[in-house]
Structure 1
Amino acid sequence: MVANPQKPRKSSSVSAHHSAANFGQYVYGVYFPNRAAIAETDMPKTETALLQPSRVRATAVMAVLEALSNHSPDEEYLGRTKEPSWEKDQVINDAFKQICSGVERFGEHYL
């Protein structure tokens, strides 16, 4: 509940990516046969079933993990790119500058 409804509270928003997915810190999800990432049924009870994983399924999962770990060439970062139409509206331009300074302060403090 807001103490004074006439005065809006300040809120902050942070945009972040999970580093394990976006930066490929765990190559192909560590060692794929050790993970049950593709299990759609109960885990097999005998060791022999674990020694024969599906190559097609493993390749598909590894391809997806590789695609997720790459960055887009036109990647944008919060607070770095301003839309040209924002220049015309002073309120939007001021809000963008405020967000940029907030993101910069956050980065200096936490990163």
Structure 2
Amino acid sequence: MSSPSPRSTGSIDYEQVQASPEFQELRGRLRRFVFPMTAIFLTWYLVYVGLASYAPGFMSFQVFGTITVGLLVGLGQFVSTFVITTLYVRFAEREIDGPAAELRERVEAGMAGNGEVRA
């Protein structure tokens, strides 16, 4: 006894959607943003940890009053996190959300018709 195929039950064939050129383009756009941004952030973080570990004299240098280079670089980690988040939100709104919504609507419309997914 075999189980019914996704098309015969009216469910979405996600493998077919994933293989579609539109989905692959969206996935590529996302990767072209996320991977470099992740590499930049991890490098920046490792530089901070490395400086804290191997250059304590530099990190304890007082810039003004009791504010040190280490404190400024540490606060810079928070600032860079918010900057990256803001850049990602803008990128997603501009490059990902619209085409993803269009693809989803086409897939759902294809299911409402004859049960065959048209991505």
State the TM-score, normalized to the length of structure 2. Answer: 0.29
In terms of fraction of residues, the more helix-rich structure is: 2
- TM-score, normalisation: structure 1: 0.31
